[in-house]
Structure 1
Amino acid sequence: MLEALGLLGLLMARRRKPSRALGVGVFVAVVLPYLGLFAVAEAAMASSGLVWMPLTGHRLLMVGIGLVAPTGVALGSALVGTFALEAALLWYGLGLHTRLPMPWEPWITLVWGGVACGLLVFRARTLLTEQRLFQVRAEAESLERLARLLLVLRDATNTPLQSLELGLSLLQQRVPEEAALLATLERAIAKLRTLTQRMAVADPLLDWETQSESFDVDTVLRSLEESLARELARRRQ
């Protein structure tokens, strides 16, 4: 009881800063006392002369570890192995193999332990796959946002570039004697035009059929500023 209250108090105190290590530690602290409880319970039932199903607690707890344990495969398998070993020791140590007509024990309990370890491996692989899919999805969404931003910037610079090109053409006609200056301006405009054309490399990432958001430059930049502000606020916490 005191242990449960202590662990509950620890979780409440750390509720604003949860961590996987804390969850694992609390889980192990909750599970390990059952080693003693199961040993005492099996010994008491063996000496009582009553009919009972031995090692049931071990089997159920091992499967529970396989299903819900926040531990990794190594620690989870170690816990399962510990309970399976205790079950075998109790079976022979209490003389249950000579008193109960159960030739399948403790082997069936060990099989349950193997199933629990299999569940741990399955959960670990599933979690790893989900994490990879999440990373791929996040990267795809990030690239799509970048492509949308590049498209907006390209569209926003097209009109000013056209104005510059038109102005340069007029200057070339009116002040041809400033050839050096006009050549410099022409190279600068050409670089800007090349840069905007290279921005089109991200266009295939955009879903033109389902794209319903506005490509207004102010709207997109405002959305970007809000996202950056939220991220900065999150990092300051």
Structure 2
Amino acid sequence: MWALVLLGVLLARRQWLRTSVVDACFAGVVLPFLPVFALAEHAMARSGLVWVPMKGPQLVMLALGVFAPIGLWLGGGLISVFALEAVVLWYTLGLGEHPGVRSPWEPWVTLVYGGLALAMLAYRVRSHTIELRLREARAEAEALERLARLFLVVRDATNTPLQTLELSLALLRKRHPECAPTVATMERSVERLRAFAQRLGIADPLVVWREGDESFDAESMLQRLEADLARELERRRR
């Protein structure tokens, strides 16, 4: 019943859901099993029946190793609590001398279950961390490639205008020698622009050429970059 209530809380807050709320709800679902298992073991110890104790905590610990939210603090803490409960119940109820107990290796078997659950949880956390790092590396590589393509677009788009300016300045110098100081200033500016365009070539190795990129068109590539930027801005606004 309490699990349905907590599920309702999560559904009601799904628009503003935070990790702390999810962790609290998960702990709220799991922790009530502690008194249930304690009462069950106490009842079995008084009944005089033959049984194998601590199966409940063992199964819950394995389930925590598989289904607990990613993070060692919550999952590891819950697993430790159930393992500690099993040890306390074993010695408090004197199950080691109980004639109905059919588990001579307890509470060590339960502790092994706890260790296995912790190992499973640690593996999940490590896999999740590696996956996040791979995603970050991929996103960074894609961002660098987009930047490299932008450099390539700028260099290609400025190449023809610079050539036109250089030819025009050469004609202007030849036909109007009296404008030599002005032409010299303009030529220095064009040289700086040419040097800047050449420096953009440092990004060429980052560009991954795909099928269809053989015929490079600066205008179409710029349009694709603008579309990618628009999609990214739209995604961040959500």
Question: TM-score, normalization: structure 2?
Answer: 0.91
Deviation at 1:202, TM superposition (A): 0.5
1:199 counterpart SS class? helix
Q: Which moved more, 1:188-197 or 1:49-58?
A: 49-58
CA contact (8 A) 1:24 1:71 kept: no
The 1-side partners of 2:107 and 2:135 are apart by 42
User: Using a 3 Å threshold, how does the CA distance of structure 1 residues 111 and 70 change in structure 2: closer, same or farther?
Assistant: same
Aligned residue number for residue 125 of structure 1: 126
Tell me which residue corresponds to 1:15. 14
- 2:30 is aligned with what amino acid? V
More moved, 22-31 vs 192-201: 22-31
Equivalent residue for 1:40?
39
Distance in 2 between the 1:22 and 1:188 partners? 60
Q: Give the superposition deviation at 1:167.
A: 0.6
CA distance in 2, matches of 1:145, 1:152: 10
Aligned to 2:204: 203
Matches of 1:221 and 1:26 in 2, distance apart?
Answer: 48
- Alpha-carbon distance in structure 2 between the residues aligned to 1:111 and 1:212: 58
Query: In structure 1, the residue corresponding to 2:143 is in which secondary structure?
Result: helix
Partner of 2:96: 97
Alignment root-mean-square deviation, CA: 1.8
Structure 2: runs of 5+ lacking an equivalent: none
Q: Please give the alpha-carbon distance, in whole angstroms, between the structure 1 residues aligned to 2:145 and 2:82.
A: 50
> What residue number does 1:68 align with?
67
In structure 2, the partner of 1:167 is 168
1:222, CA displacement in angstroms?
2.6
Question: Could you tell me how far apart the structure 2 residues matched to 1:28 and 1:171 are?
Answer: 81
Quote how far apart the aligned CAs of 1:27 are. 1.1
Matched to 1:74, the amino acid is W
For 1:96 and 1:128, the matched residues in 2 are separated by 41
Moved over 4 A (4+): none
Q: Secondary structure at the match of 1:102?
A: coil
Task: Tell me how far apart the structure 2 counterparts of residues 40 and 215 of structure 1 sit (CA, whole Å).
Answer: 75
For structure 1, the 5+ residue unaligned runs are none
- Matches for 1:84-233 after TM superposition, within 5 Å: 84-99=83-98, 100-208=101-209, 210-213=210-213, 215-233=216-234
Q: Is the 8 A contact 2:50 2:102 kept in 1?
A: no
Question: What displacement does 1:91 show?
Answer: 1.4
Query: Structure 1 CA distance, aligned partners of 2:120 and 2:234?
Result: 39
Q: Is the 8 A contact 1:152 1:215 kept in 2?
A: no
Match of 2:29 in 1: 30
Aligned residues: 235
Match of 2:50 in 1: 51
Shift of 1:65: 1.2
Q: Percent identity?
A: 54
Secondary structure at the residue paired with 1:105? coil
Q: Is the 8 A contact 2:155 2:200 kept in 1?
A: yes
Task: Return the offset for 1:52.
Answer: 2.8
Cα distance, 1:164 vs structure 2: 0.8
C-alpha separation in 2, matches of 1:102 and 1:53 = 6
Say if 1:148 and 1:215, in contact at 8 Å, map to a contact too.
Answer: no
